[in-house]
Amino acid sequence: MSDRNLTFVRSEMLPAREPPTNQFGIVKLLREKLFNNWLSALLTVASLIVLVWIAGSLSPWLFNSVWSANSLSECRQILGGAEGACLAVIRDRWTQLLFGFYPPAQYWRPVLAFVLMLVAMAPILFPPVPRRLLWFSAVFPGLAYWLIWGGTLWLPVSAYAGLAVGGVVLRLTTRLGSGVAVGLAFAGALAWGFLASGLVTTVIEQLLPLSLPAVTSREMGGFLLSIVIGVTGISLSLPLGIVLALGRRSTMPLVKTVSVVFIEFIRGVPLITLLFTASLLLNYFLPPGTNFDLILRVIIMVTLFATAYMAEVIRGGLAALPRGQYEAAEALGLDYWKAQRLVIMPQALKISIPGIVNSFIGLFKDTTLVVFIGLLDPIALSNSIRATTDWQGIYWELFIFIGGLFFIFCFSMSRYSMHLERRLKTDHR
């Protein structure tokens, strides 16, 4: 007989206890991350010294800043040789950086459009906002166009009427098969645009004039331009990217080939090339005398460019979904479009959020490239401000202002995407 007893029976189960206190909070941070051993302690101290040094050398420049002066030389006079930022240039020219050469008496229009844009985005971005507000989101693009470019209100209204015509045609012809119906609806909307729209707009405008002073695209610039191009590009590239990603995964050879060729072509060409195409080459191809707005052309090119990237990002999300999700949706009898809309896309888009927002941010910053085709983005305006005798030689202040504003927009997008990822996190991994 062995004297070791191998039997063990637990008479009562152990309750859960509090973890040891040094495993949490500031104590854990200090012990494990900052002063773990002598090397990390050394690095912590060194980093602190660098931070203090940077703050110390930047602060006089910022705290000595001059806000009221009419030129750079006046700024220097006030500073009297000391280091300091000449932020007076921002105070003097901020409206130009925001609006370009938009008529100052009409500044309220883009500002109102911007505020309304926030309202229109709210129900899309934040679910607690009532869904009923979505009708405003639908109306907003036309309203914003009218506010920013001016002219008659009946033009955007007529564009919506064209959409309605397309919708009605789609309803009526849907029995003929979805492909045919979509084609006919498209044709109907185009027919409205080319045949009826102009006449109807003119007639109604005479009966009931509702117009704002027109502002041409040439007069627009600065962040107004960046936001118009960026927001339009962003809101169009996502749906188009989804369609293209589905097209690339389609089993129909024609659809697949068209999608692949489009994506590979657009991705293989620098954006600048596309922008030059928009500004120069289209003039040769379009019939002479066509008045095709430059900003509209740029928006189309930027959107196509972003769409190609978006499609690949979303395709990545689609590829990451297990095959079983498609099978479960199919087995329940959901058809292709319902399965995509209700089961596949919500998950694929969620997976792709970081990539999607990455593309959005890239697109928004790429709007500064329009400087090369003669549009006045904020960078172009900083050049023209520097070209005046008053502000010749001023760099940092303008770039910091422009960079700061871009940062605010991009950082908000980034924060929103993180919020969205948290909100949609349901897998509890």
Partner 1 sequence: MELNLETEIDRSRMRVSEQVAIRIEDMNKWYGTFHVLRDINLTVRRGERIVIAGPSGSGKSTMIRCINRLEEHQAGKIVVDGIELSSDLKNIDKVRSEVGMVFQHFNLFPHLTILENCTLAPIWVREIPRREAIETAMHFLEKVKIPEQANKYPGQLSGGQQQRVAIARSLCMKPRIMLFDEPTSALDPEMIKEVLDTMIELAEEGMTMLCVTHEMGFAQAVANRVIFMDQGQIVEENNPHDFFNNPQSERTRLFLSQILRH
Provide the minimum distance between the beta carbon of 380 and partner 1 in the complex, in angstroms, as a whole number. 44
Q: Which residues of 129-164 are buried (b: 16+ CB within 10 A; e: fewer)?
A: eeeeeeeebeebbbbbbbbbbbbbbbbbbbbebbee
Q: Does 293 bind partner 1 (CB under 8 A)?
A: no
Of the pair 268, 324, the CB lying nearest partner 1 is at 324
Q: Does 334 bind partner 1 (CB under 8 A)?
A: yes
Q: Does 320 bind partner 1 (CB under 8 A)?
A: no
Of the pair 28, 423, the CB lying nearest partner 1 is at 423
Residue from the set 342, 399, 411, 419 that interacts with partner 1 by CB under 8 A: 342
CA 58 – CA 63 distance, rounded (Å): 9
Q: DSSP per residue over 238-289, as a string?
A: HHHHHHHHHHHT-SSHHHHHHHHHHHHHHHTS-HHHHHHIIIIIHHHHSPTT
CA 274 – CA 178 distance, rounded (Å): 33
Provide the minimum distance between the beta carbon of 337 and partner 1 in the complex, in angstroms, as a whole number. 10
Of the pair 346, 404, the CB lying nearest partner 1 is at 346
Q: Does 306 bind partner 1 (CB under 8 A)?
A: no
CB within 8 Å of 360: residues ≥ 6 apart: 234, 306, 413
Closest C-alpha among 233, 212, 190 to residue 110? 212
Measured in whole angstroms, the distance separating CA 153 from the mean position of its chain's CA atoms is 27
Q: Is the dihedral of CA 238, 241, 246, 252 positive or negative?
A: positive
What letter would DSSP give residue 152?
A: E
Of the pair 10, 429, the CB lying nearest partner 1 is at 429
Residue from the set 256, 350, 365, 386 that interacts with partner 1 by CB under 8 A: 350
Q: Does 176 bind partner 1 (CB under 8 A)?
A: no
Give CA angle at 378 (376, 383), nearest 5°: 75
CA 215 – CA 201 distance, rounded (Å): 19
Provide the minimum distance between the beta carbon of 251 and partner 1 in the complex, in angstroms, as a whole number. 12
Q: Does 255 bind partner 1 (CB under 8 A)?
A: no
Of the pair 350, 386, the CB lying nearest partner 1 is at 350
CB 390 within 8 A of CB 69: no
Provide the minimum distance between the beta carbon of 341 and partner 1 in the complex, in angstroms, as a whole number. 9
Residue from the set 333, 387, 389, 395 that interacts with partner 1 by CB under 8 A: 333
In sequence order, the β-bridge partners of residue 100 are: 220
Provide the minimum distance between the beta carbon of 359 and partner 1 in the complex, in angstroms, as a whole number. 22
Joined tokens for residue 124: 């899309």
Measured in whole angstroms, the distance separating CA 248 from the mean position of its chain's CA atoms is 24
Provide the minimum distance between the beta carbon of 327 and partner 1 in the complex, in angstroms, as a whole number. 5
Q: Does 346 bind partner 1 (CB under 8 A)?
A: yes
Residue from the set 28, 91, 338, 419 that interacts with partner 1 by CB under 8 A: 338
CA 312 – CA 346 distance, rounded (Å): 16
Provide the minimum distance between the beta carbon of 311 and partner 1 in the complex, in angstroms, as a whole number. 22
Provide the minimum distance between the beta carbon of 7 and partner 1 in the complex, in angstroms, as a whole number. 25
CA 298 – CA 290 distance, rounded (Å): 16
Of the pair 263, 318, the CB lying nearest partner 1 is at 318
Residue from the set 160, 330, 408, 412 that interacts with partner 1 by CB under 8 A: 330
Of the pair 88, 339, the CB lying nearest partner 1 is at 339
Of the pair 131, 429, the CB lying nearest partner 1 is at 429
Of the pair 296, 332, the CB lying nearest partner 1 is at 332
Residue ranges that bind partner 1, judged by CB under 8 A: 322, 324-325, 327-335, 338, 342-343, 346-347, 350, 424, 426-429
